[in-house]
């Protein structure tokens, strides 16, 4: 699903008076709020859907795929998602 398809789906589920521009603003606000919560608290949980958490990756050795030369990959952070049991069963 693309962003445009998500906006169309939310618009179809909402009141008829809502414009596509208003719907896009709501979708953006939801994702901005999610981003802020994950950044601030390190996690965001939505019952029945799942939990987003920040994961820390350690520094490690790797290889340049073109040259095969060894490189050092620095530590980093990423976001992990664990689906709720109800969501997992629905798949």
Tell me, what CATH number does 54's domain have? 4.10.520.10
Identify whether 69 is part of a domain: yes
4 vs 74: CA distance, rounded Å: 35
State the residue range of the domain holding 72.
Answer: 45-91
Please report whether residue 49 resides in a domain.
Answer: yes
pLDDT band at 15 (very low <50, low <70, confident <90, very high): confident
Per the structure, the count of domains in the chain is: 1
Instruction: Give a yes or no: residue 53 inside a domain.
Output: yes
Question: Is residue 57 packed enough to be buried (19+ CB in 10 Å), middle (13-18) or exposed (0-12)?
Answer: exposed
pLDDT 10s digits, 44-68? 999 999 999 999 999 999 999 999 9
For residue 59, being part of any structural domain is answered with: yes
Is the CB of residue 46 less than 8 Å from the CB of residue 37?
no
Instruction: Give me 1's structure tokens.
Output: 């699903």
> Does residue 52 sit within a domain?
yes
Residue percentage of the chain with pLDDT more than 90: 89
Q: Is residue 79 part of a domain?
A: yes
Burial of 77 (0-12, 13-18, 19+ CB in 10 A): exposed
Give the 3-state secondary structure of residue 67.
coil
Tell me whether residue 66 is in a domain.
yes
């Amino acid at each position: 699903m693309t962003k445009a398809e998500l906006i169309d789906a939310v618009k179809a589920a909402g009141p008829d008076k809502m414009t596509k521009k208003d719907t896009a603003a709501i979708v953006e606000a939801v994702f901005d709020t999610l981003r802020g919560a994950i950044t601030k608290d390190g996690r965001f949980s939505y019952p029945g859907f799942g939990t987003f958490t920040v994961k820390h990756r350690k520094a490690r050795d790797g290889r340049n795929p073109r040259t095969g030369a060894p490189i050092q990959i620095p530590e980093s952070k990423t976001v992990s998602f664990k689906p709720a049991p109800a969501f997992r069963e629905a798949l």
